[in-house]
Amino acid sequence: MSRKQKGSDAERELVEMLQNAGYASVRIAGSGCSKFPCPDVLASNGSRVLAIECKSTKKERQYFRKQQIKELLEFSNMFAATPMCAIKFSTSWHFIEPHKLRDSGKHHATDRKHVLDEGCALY
């Protein structure tokens, strides 16, 4: 399975999980190659709108390109949405606000322990 396919499958899984939790949610296909800032997933439960950048990994650490986070924040600001990063570590999803990611120089990063300590629940 290609990395692109793995990412798309993870985004679809997250959309279904959010739907089951009472959020209307959609995957924005091609979000990574659009010339305009846009998140991977957009979700709302009627009182909260989320713009979500998604990652899936089998490793303990996950990186986000700084440009991805910059665009997530731009979109969220224009859309009046709460920006959120969703990381699937192996089998479980975790959520963390972009400002809580660590600056690793070239990227923003987090790991499973950091997300467990600093992350948040969506519900």
Which residues are the active-site residues?
Answer: 31
- pTM for the predicted model, two decimal places: 0.91
Lookup: tokens for 11: 């985004």
From residue 18, how far is each of 12, 41, 77, 97, 114 by CA, in Å? 10, 10, 22, 17, 23
pLDDT digits (tens, 9 = 90+) for 81-95: 999 999 999 889 999
pLDDT average, residue stretch 17-34 = 86
pLDDT band at 33 (very low <50, low <70, confident <90, very high): low
Strands 102-103 and 82-89: unpaired
What pLDDT is attached to residue 18? 95
Question: Going by CATH, does the domain composed of 3-118 fall within 3.40.1350.10?
Answer: yes
Where are the chain's structural domains?
Answer: 3-118
Instruction: Look at residue 31 in the predicted model and tell me its pLDDT.
Output: 59
Reply yes or no on whether the pLDDT at 121 is more than 90.
no
